[in-house]
Structure 1
Amino acid sequence: MATSTHRTPTPAAAPEPQGEPAHQDQVQDPAHGIVDDPYATYARLRDTAPVHRTVGTDGRPAWLVTRYDDVREALANPLLSLDKSHALPGSYRGLALPPALDANLLNMDPPDHTRIRSLVGRAFTRRRVEQLRAPIRRTADALLDAVEPLGRADLVAAYAAPLPITVICDLLGVPDDGRRDFREWTDALLSPDPAHPEKAKHAVVSLLGFFTGLLADKRRHPADDLLSDLVAVRDAGDRLSEDELMSLAFLILFAGYENTVHLIGNAALALLDHPEQFAALRDDPARLPAAVEEFQRYDGPAPLAIRRFPVEDVTIAGVTVPAGETVLLSLGSANRDPGRFPDPDRLDLDRATAGHVALGHGIHHCLGAPLARLETQIAVGALVERFPRLALAVPRDDIRWRPSMRSRGLRELPVTF
């Protein structure tokens, strides 16, 4: 190989890859280091080598790419497949979902990826999303109205979580009584409790039952919503299989909710950590669109892109990665690469953020990016406008992150008004 490789810390004990170089790059408390303060770890990895032999989120060997240029190029490399059938037998475990939820865009390459994305892409164009501005603002105002008399709230539970779940469920046509348990199920999948593995299994069964019932209801009672439109597409021809239909519904609801929750929460904390930037945004709301791009770059909701599998031996930054092995592209590290973004660990709402990869790049760029951007603009703007003296209600060291390598989000964010 053209460069040395290193073993990176992971949040749980995992089998060690065989045949590694003797050098090990570890911290005393890997779970705390990579979850609560990942950016110092990313900086060290970028400095030591562009590609690292590591242990993936599933406890199996993987290759971690950390520098901006390499990550961006790899995101658009057609030799790096999302299709799990290209993984070497036994080399990848990942999140276990039944076929009815697993036949989604995160596991597909063209032409299936192109076909399915085209069916739903029209719902997430900037023009269509802009039509949601007024209802999103009404939802944000209603949530803030509810907590204002209390003088204190957990911004994640009371604001960052219910706003996007309301928006995406309204878009899809999910009835109110179908929204109650959704966050609990997603948390069980994204941050599984090792002491209670049955919770994740229960979440999968519950989600499958939920979407089965929801799609059956849309067939009986079609309405003016995205899911009814997709059911009509499925039933009118062969453009979607039944598994693809259910998996697409799951992905839109799951990703449309989860990423935006974390983006709003992380943005609020970033502003609280940088009061001068909070004041600048409060005094000039026109900065909001640019600010949201900086929030994504600074502390985005997805530390890693969806894993890739080389369809043949592929060279990344001079390192040969064998076909079928797992490749992890660190979006969080790329967005803090000083070679692309000067002084990257500083939140700067006036920064030139063009080219950040928080929501991916290439054909797999986040489908719901326009909606996530609009929701975050409205959520943060309403928060700063309504509560100009917003402050943490607990010491900063008491703020905790969810124990996940798949998502970057807060457990809670207690604040006072």
Structure 2
Amino acid sequence: MTSSTAQTAPAYPMPRSCPFGPPPQYAHLRQEAPISRVTLQDGTQAWLITGHALARAFLSSDKISSNRANPGFPQLVPGVASVPLKGTIVAMDPPEHSRHRRMVTNEFTVRRVKQMRPEIQRITDRAIDEMLAGPRPADLVEAVSLPVPSLVICELLGVPYADRGQFQSRTTIILSRNSTSEQRRDTALWLRGYISDLVAGKEARPGDDLLSRLIAKYRDIDAYDRETLTGIGLLLLVGGHETTANMISLSVASLLDDPPILAGLRERPEQTPQLVEELLRFHSVVDNATSRVVVEDFELDGIAFRAGDGVIVAAAAAGHDPDVFARPDRIDVDRGARHHLAFGFGIHQCLGQNLARLELEIVLNTLFARVPTLALAEPVERLPFKTDALVYGIHRLPVTW
């Protein structure tokens, strides 16, 4: 292996040259130095892992931490360390992480999510009805991509859907690399206050929703803490709509740009779950959520990781590893790519992955069946892609029919 430790560490994040593909530097690094050094925006350095097998091996280690407060954790945006984290499961380590994840897992099992299919279908149909009744061209982001997952997660958590505009706009601030430290901290505090008030209301008047059920579960074991549940609720609210919304937009845009794949979806809708897996691999919208910090020295593939080293596992790079995915830059419905890292890997694998899969399946099948003439109203190269955000996607997707 060619080590990059003695070379100038390139800047991270790295720019994309193709809107539907990962940064081209990933391929070079994966071939020459799949574990290499990069320079972050704050001037510090971290390790970057771009190979699929190495990514899974690293994320399986018990010598790494997800706690953003640990010294050395790679800060991908300024001021993120000042964001309140209590209750944020993705930033916890065992045994605390195991205890809280166990409380939430049953809400997102395959069986529980399947029971939500009729409601997700109803929400999707209504969003498409409203889009078709409106003017053309329409912005698919505003008409379908955001409303469907937002309404689903609002109903699941018991959040008033009328408030969606407030948390969607503030989510954008938190996830933008262009936000200042003060903006990100103030926004996070506002969102926590909003969820805390919501939780307080459910303590007194529980309903048939996830937050009310979690309050009861924690009280049953005499472990209830409002601040912790606020953090859990905030994570589910933000994560439950932002990532899926971006996947819907990118998936629709890439399918409209690839007529043979789109024709296959229309002819064989029963294969859409396989297509969803391939789209998740292909786009990998959350490229660096698997960032970690080393807490105990260990070695991997000849590289000595030291306690305090920040490490970024690039999910998009791993998802385009040709040693694992033949012709990775093509969408192949028959690939069966469930071993991608779009939902992470190891103990922090995404809790809501079953819900995201079902939402994508229902939206894609319904949209292209009901609107057979759907087309992009602008060429792909003119679409405003989210190059400035932690979650990749499209700001606006004009479509017509």
Same fold (TM over 0.5): yes
> Identity, % of aligned pairs?
36
Instruction: Select 1:361's aligned residue among 333, 342, 345.
Output: 345
Structure 1 Cα separation of the partners of residues 314 and 177 of structure 2: 21
Q: Which residue of 2 aligns with 1:10?
A: none
Q: Which residue of 1 aligns with 2:147?
A: 162
Instruction: Select 2:165's aligned residue among 180, 191, 199.
Output: 180
1:266–1:409 CA contact under 8 A, matched in 2: yes
Q: 1:243 to 1:57 in 2, by over 3 A?
A: farther
Instruction: Select 1:326's aligned residue among 310, 323, 334.
Output: 310
Q: Which residue of 1 aligns with 2:326?
A: 342
CA deviation map 1:94-149 (0-9, x unaligned): 624554x4431111111111110110111100001001101101111111111113
Aligned residues: 399
Which letter does structure 2 place at the counterpart of 1:62? A
CA deviation map 1:339-377 (0-9, x unaligned): 000000001112131311111122111111100000010
Q: Which residue of 2 aligns with 1:402?
A: 386
Structure 1 Cα separation of the partners of residues 19 and 302 of structure 2: 29
TM normalised by structure 2 equals 0.92
Q: 1:46 to 1:340 in 2, by over 3 A?
A: same
1:168–1:253 CA contact under 8 A, matched in 2: yes
Structure 2 Cα separation of the partners of residues 318 and 229 of structure 1: 47
SS in 2 for 1:77: coil
Q: Which residue of 2 aligns with 1:4?
A: 3
2:74–2:310 CA contact under 8 A, matched in 1: no
Q: Which residue of 2 aligns with 1:215?
A: 199
When structure 1 is superposed on structure 2, of 170-179 and 294-303 the one drifting more is 170-179
Q: Which runs of 5+ in 1 are unaligned?
A: 6-19
Which letter does structure 2 place at the counterpart of 1:311? V
Structure 2 Cα separation of the partners of residues 243 and 119 of structure 1: 15
Q: CA deviation at 1:31?
A: 4.5
Q: Does 1:146 align with 2:130?
A: yes
CA deviation map 1:150-196 (0-9, x unaligned): 342111121111110100010011123332211101100001435x6
Q: CA deviation at 1:412?
A: 1.4
1:298–1:335 CA contact under 8 A, matched in 2: yes
CA deviation map 1:185-218 (0-9, x unaligned): 1100001435x66543442232022112111111
Which letter does structure 1 place at the counterpart of 2:250? N
TM normalised by structure 1 equals 0.89
SS in 2 for 1:224: coil
Structure 2 Cα separation of the partners of residues 58 and 375 of structure 1: 37
Q: Does 1:21 align with 2:20?
A: no
Q: CA deviation at 1:241?
A: 3.3
When structure 1 is superposed on structure 2, of 299-308 and 156-165 the one drifting more is 299-308
Aligned Cα RMSD in Å?
Answer: 2.4
Instruction: Select 2:100's aligned residue among 108, 116, 121.
Output: 116
Q: CA deviation at 1:223?
A: 0.6
Q: 1:325 to 1:241 in 2, by over 3 A?
A: farther
Structure 1 Cα separation of the partners of residues 52 and 14 of structure 2: 23
Pairing of 1:255-294 with structure 2 (within 5 A)? 255-294=239-278
